[in-house]
């Protein structure tokens, strides 16, 4: 196998993998504080990319557009929790999940109306040049994606480890009921976590847009890929989710390179199905049914 | 058939007969045809999502199979459309049957993702493979025909499609009102409790997945014969979302609601097109989904049904008339069974919750398993009922080894159980809850058995209540009645007195005595010594996962080891 070709496939896969990792992280954080898997997670990425591209297209300076798009993601996340999830908290679990699907569809629809059907592009924030790494040619905006991912991961893990709010999030992840009895304000925490994961997703969407076009219907793909990362990561550990998200990015890129770009989604979803069927069918053939996936 | 069903049927038939006469132009007929095609599959969504709460959001995958099967069979091989439709449905059902058992072990969002992934994989295949026509799809699909008899004009096709909707609704209603329908609701409310009355959870989920897949496939077939062409975008993610949105708007818990919702979705979409706002479709569908779920979780059908109840009176619940219990005689057990445990152990990580426990529950006895909190009683209980798997040991019920059985099979042997934390089905009335207990005998006679069981525990008059509206003590009785409807040979009760006041505890112990008098062997887990000592003829004491005493109540009560376990701990206030 030619190493340069391999790296030329692998490194861009690492870049998309960064985005999936951030989406997977958002999934895990939201699920742990609210018990709900947020199918709108990938739509935040789409929203951030579209908002930034749209604003830059209007002539808004880069820095302002980036900040505004990130803020929009935070607002969308908080609004989702307050307006759509809080009212159905006492409903059966599947209704809460369906509500997040509905919200995802609304975000797609609003973006479609505001920004239109066409995919938007933006120039790289520090030029559209290329650079060489281990013989592979990469676009300069990749560096933005990598740095933003490192920044967001360090920020999130620092938040989880060193702030009292972050510790409360971790407590909720271990035992929601016990955390509430210890005085954790779960309602407030949910809003914070949804806002943070909205902002994280949106910023991820902003930095990836110079590499792949932003489009109103791109969110579903980010959701499913990030979700696969979160599932394979086990849905408990944020770091495992990040690792699995990166893995999905690499798998996708290698499938596209060595098989065909048309079949890459088939391979990624196929890996998920195989994983799930093995989990449900073989590994957990115990006396009690597998309980993957919450109540 | 209830009044509501009769009214719905008449309204449906009138609407379907009159619509083509009132709107004979091809545009309106086409809208009606699309609505009918979708309605066939939303009925399946109600069964799977509305009744069983299985969030399979990739149902369009099966529509896609039906659609493409018809396109390919009719265009390339010249099959008769009706035959191709049946073949497509069989193909979809076969696929559903093949993947369902492992898939439906997954729950909640993981199931949602798995079904979505399946759908997205099929889309890739449709785009990539030449056989399916690639991104351009298949064109030149003939109009629908039945065994060579073409439904050449849209009006006859409209009536044919809505006839199929009627058949789908009829099938759905039959399922909904049968023991399977109750089983599905039970699964939705509590899989643990469903298993405890002998419901085969996987089997019923698979049944609904297969039936829903068949309905979705037929719906896809009908749609491509109307469109006369198909391509991968016809059955995209939006199609799945429309199926779910339609079902939610129409009414998740009502078969009629599913059909109604499909019609509403299609007409709404056409309205938006006419208003030249097609881009708004996504926003409005999404917003409607969220709003209906928040404001009317039971959709339009639930709303209309409630209005009807308010106007006509409906079956409004009467006040609870607690008759003196004992007015009915339940069938007696002629050969009370014996339960024997030998060397039963179970660890959770390094914690040995139950360690080498062996004892006998004598036939026809009231045996109490007692011990302080954390003694391992509830774990042991779960090991017997099949909810937990043991690491070592043997459990024999009338000589039969049952330690490897699933809860449903334990229940089918005639072992009923109640739960420490009540596990009533909150989506059914009290009567239906108790009828679920009869599941192992099928649907016939369920209602009479349930009424008798309710009368036996002293809850006559509570039949039509929502169980959550009853006082806590009565809810416990409902659970006992449900276990009695199983016609148990042995009844296992997990801390039945917890949360009851003194008067209720008194009535409970009378009830237990009457159950034992039927010849039912009773195994009681309690930590309340007072209740146990007056009631039991055989007592087993556990502490720290081990059996520390066994025998008649009096000697056990004065056993120094037992006294130490109950009193000799750091917290003296724990004395019972």
Residue-level pLDDT at A293: 37
CA distances from residue A181 to A138, A168, B137 in whole angstroms, order as listed: 51, 12, 57
From residue B406, alpha-carbon distances to A287, B386, B395 in Å are 6, 5, 13
Residue B459 shares a structural domain with residue B558: yes
Chain B: nearest CA to A286, how far in angstroms?
A: 8
Round to whole Å and give the CA distance between A292 and A281.
12
Using CA atoms, how far apart are residues B290 and A97, in angstroms rounded to an integer? 11
Number of domains in chain B: 2
Q: Is the distance from CB of A102 to CB of B289 less than 8 angstroms?
A: yes
* Residue B575 belongs to some domain of the structure: no
The 3-state DSSP class for residue A33 equals helix
Give the residue from chain B lying closest to A275, CA to CA: B114
Residues of B in contact with A118 (CB under 8 A): none
Domain stops at, among B311, B327, B347: B311
Q: Which residues contact B565 (CB under 8 A, 6 or more apart)?
A: B371, B372, B375, B541, B543, B548
DSSP, collapsed to helix, strand or coil, labels residue B314 as: coil
**A27 Cβ under 8 Å from any chain B Cβ:** no
The reply to whether B319 falls in a domain is no
Mean pLDDT of B155-166: 93
Of A103, A272, A286, the CB nearest to B389: A286
Q: Are strands B521-526 and B351-361 parallel, antiparallel or unpaired?
A: unpaired
Q: Could you tell me the residue range of the domain that residue B232 belongs to?
A: 3-311
Size of interface A-B (CB pairs under 8 A): 167
Residue B574 domain flag: no
Q: How confident is the model at residue B573 (pLDDT cuts 50, 70, 90)?
A: very low
Res A289: pLDDT: 31
Q: CB-based contact (8 Å) between A37 and chain B?
A: yes
Least Cα distance to B487 among B543, B536, B420, B438 occurs for B438
Q: Of A140-154, B248-262, B271-285, B474-488, give the lowest mean pLDDT range.
A: B271-285
In a domain, A272, yes or no: no
CB contact under 8 A, A266 and B124: yes
Q: Which of B274, B291, B311 is the last residue of a domain?
A: B311
Asked whether residue B237 falls in the same domain as residue B358, the answer is no
Give the tens place of pLDDT for each residue, B89-144.
999 999 999 988 888 877 777 888 889 899 999 999 999 988 888 888 888 888 88
Cβ proximity of B187 and A92 under 8 Å: no
Tell the residue number behind the tokens 């607690």, with chain if given: B322
Judged by a CB distance cut-off of 8 A, whether residue A291 touches chain B is: yes
Nearest C-alpha of chain B: how many angstroms from A133? 33
Q: Judge if B411 and B461 occupy the same domain.
A: yes
Cβ(B147)–Cβ(B82) under 8 Å?
Answer: yes
Is A269 contained in some domain?
A: no
Would you call A272 and B386 a contact, using CB atoms and an 8 Å cutoff? Answer: no
Distance CA B393, CA A194 (A): 48
A278 is a domain residue: no
B-chain CB neighbours of A265 within 8 Å are 120-121, 124
Q: CB distance from A272 to chain B under 8 Å?
A: yes
Gyration radius from chain A CA atoms = 19
Low-confidence ranges of chain A (pLDDT < 50): 281-295
Q: A277 and B285 in contact by Cβ < 8 A? A: no
Looking at the structure, do residues B208 and B345 belong to the same domain, yes or no? no
In a domain, A195, yes or no: yes
A288 CB neighbours in chain B (<8 A) are: 387-389
The CATH number that applies at residue B18 is 1.10.3470
Residue B360 pairs in a beta bridge with B340
Residue B511, in any domain of the structure: yes
Asked if the structure places residue A38 within a domain, the reply is yes
Q: Which of B311, B327, B357 is the C-terminal boundary of a domain?
A: B311
Question: What are the Cα distances from residue B109, in Å, to B47, B53, B115, B220, B285?
Answer: 18, 11, 10, 25, 21
Provide mean pLDDT across the span B454-474. Answer: 89
Confidence (pLDDT) at A282:
42
pLDDT of residue B146: 86
Cβ contacts of A92 on chain B, cutoff 8 Å: 53, 188
Chain B positions in Cβ-Cβ contact with residue A226 (cut-off 8 Å): none
pLDDT above 60 for B488: yes
A234 CB near a chain B CB, below 8 Å?
A: no
Q: How many distinct structural domains can be found in chain A?
A: 1
Beta bridge partners of B542: B547
Residue among B124, B201, B294 whose CB faces A263 most closely? B124
Q: Do B128 and A262 touch (CB under 8 A)?
A: yes
At residue A285, the pLDDT reads 36
> Does residue B576 belong to any structural domain of this protein?
no
How would residue B279 be classed by pLDDT, with cut points 50, 70 and 90? Answer: confident
User: Which structure tokens are listed for B273?
Assistant: 């097109």
Would you say residue B326 lies in a domain?
Answer: no
Per-chain mean pLDDT for chain B: 88
Q: Within this chain, do residues B304 and B372 fall inside the same structural domain, yes or no?
A: no
Do B91 and B137 lie in a common domain? yes
Residue of B300, B261, B107 lying closest to B169 (CA atoms): B261
* Best B59, B108, B196, B202 residue to mutate vs chain A (most A CBs within 10 Å): B108
Residue A293 lies in a domain: no
What pLDDT is recorded for position B282? 84
CA distances from B193 to A86, A123, B166 (A): 28, 59, 34
Q: B188 to chain A: which residues are within 8 Å by CB?
A: 92
Q: Indicate whether B322 belongs to any domain.
A: no
Q: Is residue A274 part of a domain?
A: no
Interval B398-453: pLDDT, tens: 989 999 999 999 999 999 999 988 899 988 999 999 999 999 888 788 899 999 99
Q: Is there a domain that residue B148 lies in?
A: yes
Using a CB-CB cut-off of 8 Å, the residues of chain A touching B387 are 287-288
Q: Are residues B249 and B394 in the same domain?
A: no
* C-beta of residue A189 within 8 angstroms of C-beta of residue A171: no
Answer whether A97 sits within 8 Å of B237, measured CB to CB. no
Task: Give the pLDDT band (50/70/90) at residue B514.
Answer: very high
**What is the rounded radius of gyration, in angstroms, for the C-alpha atoms of chain B?**
28
Residues in chain A with CB shorter than 8 Å from the CB of B286 are 102-109
Give residue A178's pLDDT.
79
Q: Which residues of A touch B102 (CB under 8 A)?
A: 276-277, 280-281
Judge if B422 and B459 occupy the same domain: yes
Pairwise CB contact (< 8 Å): B279 & A112: yes
Q: Are residues B129 and B63 in the same domain?
A: yes
Partner-chain contact A99 B127, CB within 8 Å: no
Strands B521-526 and B490-494: parallel
Work out the minimum CA distance from B233 to partner chain A, whole angstroms. Answer: 13
| ipTM of this predicted structure | 0.85
CATH number at residue A63: 1.10.3470
Residue A293 with chain B: CB contacts under 8 Å: 106-111
Looking at the fold, whether B38 and B112 belong to one and the same domain comes out as yes
What burial class does residue A140 get, using C-beta atoms within 10 Å of its C-beta: 0-12 exposed, 13-18 middle, 19+ buried? middle
Cα separation of A96 and A289, whole Å? 23
Q: Is residue A225 part of a domain?
A: yes
The pairing of strands B546-551 and B351-361 is unpaired
Tokens of A73: 């993601």
Contact residues on chain B for A99, CB-CB shorter than 8 A: 289-290, 293-294
Residues B172-191, mean pLDDT to the nearest whole number: 92
Given pLDDT bands bounded at 50, 70 and 90, which one contains residue B2? Answer: confident
Closest-CA residue in chain A for B402?
A287
Of B282, B297, B406, which is closest to A108 when you measure between CB atoms? Answer: B282
Which of B108, B201, B294 lies nearest to residue A94, judging by beta carbons?
B108
Average pLDDT of the residues in B485-495: 93
- pLDDT band for B55, please (50, 70, 90 cuts): confident
Residue A195 token pair = 């806002």
* Residues A64, A60: Cα–Cα separation, whole Å: 7
B424 and B559: one domain?
Answer: yes
Torsion, CA B469, CA B474, CA B480, CA B485, rounded to 10: -60
Same domain, B95 and B243: yes
Is the model's pTM score more than 0.90?
no
Whether B280 and A220 lie within 8 Å, measured CB to CB: no
- Which one-letter DSSP state was computed for residue A150? H
Q: Give me the residues of A, 92-151, that contact B with CB < 8 A.
A: 92-95, 97-99, 101-110, 112-113, 117
Burial of B17 from C-beta contacts in 10 A (0-12 / 13-18 / 19+):
exposed
pLDDT > 70? residue B150 = yes
Whether B134 and B128 have beta carbons less than 8 Å apart is answered as: yes
Token pair for residue A59? 């002539």
Containing structural domain, residue A191: 3-263
Q: Is A210 strand, coil or helix? A: coil
Q: For residue B222, what are the contacts with CB-CB under 8 A and spacing of at least 6?
A: B33, B36, B37, B40, B85, B144, B161, B164
- Give the one of A103, A266, A293 whose C-beta lies nearest to B109's C-beta: A293
CA atoms of B55 and B398, how far apart (whole Å): 41
End-to-end CA distance of chain B: 54
């Amino acid at each position: 196998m030619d190493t340069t070709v391999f790296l030329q496939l692998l490194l861009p896969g690492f870049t998309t993998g960064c985005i999936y990792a951030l989406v997977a992280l958002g999934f895990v954080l939201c699920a742990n504080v609210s018990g709900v898997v947020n199918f709108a997670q990938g739509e935040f990425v789409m929203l951030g990319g579209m908002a930034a591209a749209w604003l830059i297209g209007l002539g808004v300076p880069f820095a302002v557009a980036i900040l505004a798009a990130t803020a929009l993601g935070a607002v969308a996340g908080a609004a989702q929790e307050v307006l759509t999830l809080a009212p159905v908290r006492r409903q059966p679990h599947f209704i809460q999940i369906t509500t997040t699907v509905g919200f995802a569809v609304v975000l797609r629809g609003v973006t479609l109306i505001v920004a239109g059907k066409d995919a938007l592009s933006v120039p790289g924030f520090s030029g559209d040049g290329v650079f060489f790494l281990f013989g592979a040619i990469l676009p300069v905006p990749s560096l933005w994606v990598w740095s933003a991912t490192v920044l967001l991961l360090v920020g999130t893990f620092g938040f989880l480890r060193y702030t009292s709010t972050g510790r409360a999030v971790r407590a909720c992840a271990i035992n929601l009921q016990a955390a509430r009895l210890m005085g954790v304000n779960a309602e407030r925490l949910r809003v914070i976590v949804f806002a943070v994961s909205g902002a994280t997703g949106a910023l991820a969407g902003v930095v990836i847009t110079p590499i792949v076009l932003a489009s109103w219907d791109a969110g579903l793909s980010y959701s499913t890929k990030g979700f696969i990362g979160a599932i394979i990561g086990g849905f408990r550990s944020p770091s495992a989710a990040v690792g699995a998200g990166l893995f999905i990015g690499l798998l996708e890129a290698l499938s596209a390179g060595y098989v065909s770009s048309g079949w890459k989604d088939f391979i990624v979803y196929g890996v998920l199905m195989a994983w799930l069927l093995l989990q449900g069918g073989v590994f957990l053939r115990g006396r009690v049914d597998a309980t993957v996936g919450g109540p | 058939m209830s009044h509501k069903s009769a009214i719905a049927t008449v309204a449906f038939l009138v609407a379907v007969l009159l619509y083509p006469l009132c709107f004979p132009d091809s545009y309106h007929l086409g809208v009606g045809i699309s609505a009918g095609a979708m309605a066939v599959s939303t009925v399946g969504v109600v069964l799977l999502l509305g009744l069983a709460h299985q969030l399979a959001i990739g149902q369009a995958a099966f529509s896609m199979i039906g659609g493409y099967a018809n396109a390919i069979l009719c265009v390339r091989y010249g099959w008769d459309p009706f035959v191709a439709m049946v073949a497509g449905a069989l193909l979809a059902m076969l696929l559903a049957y093949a993947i369902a058992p492992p898939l439906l072990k997954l729950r909640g969002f993981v199931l949602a993702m798995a079904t979505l992934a399946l759908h997205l994989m099929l889309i890739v295949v449709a785009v990539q493979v030449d056989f399916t026509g690639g991104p351009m799809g298949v064109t030149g699909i003939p109009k629908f025909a039945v065994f060579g008899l073409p439904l050449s004009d849209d009006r006859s096709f409209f009536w044919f499609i809505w006839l199929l909707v009627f058949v789908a609704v009829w099938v759905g209603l039959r399922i909904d009102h049968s023991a399977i329908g109750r089983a599905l609701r039970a699964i939705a409310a509590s899989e643990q409790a469903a298993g405890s009355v002998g419901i085969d959870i996987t089997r019923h989920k698979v049944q609904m997945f297969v039936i829903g897949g068949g309905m979705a496939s037929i719906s896809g077939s009908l749609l491509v014969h109307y469109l006369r062409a198909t391509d991968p975008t016809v059955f995209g993610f939006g199609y799945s979302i429309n199926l779910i949105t339609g079902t939610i708007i129409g009414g998740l818990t009502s078969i009629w609601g599913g059909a109604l919702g499909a019609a509403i979705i299609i007409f709404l979409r056409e309205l938006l097109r006419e208003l030249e706002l097609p881009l708004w479709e996504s926003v409005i569908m999404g917003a409607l989904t969220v709003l209906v779920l928040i404001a009317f979780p039971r959709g339009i059908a639930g709303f209309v049904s409630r209005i009807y109840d308010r106007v006509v009176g409906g079956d409004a619940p009467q006040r609870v008339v607690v008759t003196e219990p004992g007015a009915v005689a339940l069938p007696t057990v002629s050969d009370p069974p014996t339960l024997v445990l030998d060397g039963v152990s179970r660890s959770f990580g390094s914690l040995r919750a139950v360690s080498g426990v062996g004892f006998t529950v004598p036939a026809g006895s009231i045996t109490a398993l007692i011990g302080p909190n954390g003694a391992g009683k509830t774990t042991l209980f779960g090991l017997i009922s099949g909810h937990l798997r043991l690491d070592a040991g043997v459990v024999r019920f009338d000589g039969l080894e049952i330690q490897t059985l699933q809860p449903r099979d334990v229940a089918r042997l005639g072992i009923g159980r109640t739960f420490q934390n009540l596990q009533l089905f909150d989506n059914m009335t009290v009567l239906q809850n108790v009828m679920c207990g009869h599941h192992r005998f099928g649907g016939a006679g369920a209602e009479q058995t349930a009424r008798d069981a309710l009368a036996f525990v002293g809850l006559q008059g509570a039949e039509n209540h929502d169980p959550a509206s009853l006082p806590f003590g009565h809810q416990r009785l409902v659970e006992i009645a449900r276990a009695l409807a199983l016609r148990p040979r042995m009844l296992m009760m997990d801390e039945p007195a917890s949360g009851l006041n003194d008067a209720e505890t008194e009535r409970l112990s009378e009830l237990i005595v009457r159950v034992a008098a039927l010849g039912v062997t009773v195994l009681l887990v309690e930590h309340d010594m007072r209740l146990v000592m007056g009631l039991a003829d055989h007592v087993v004491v556990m502490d720290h996962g081990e059996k520390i005493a066994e025998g008649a109540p009096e000697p056990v009560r004065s056993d120094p080891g037992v006294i130490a376990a109950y009193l000799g701990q750091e917290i003296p206030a724990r004395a019972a």
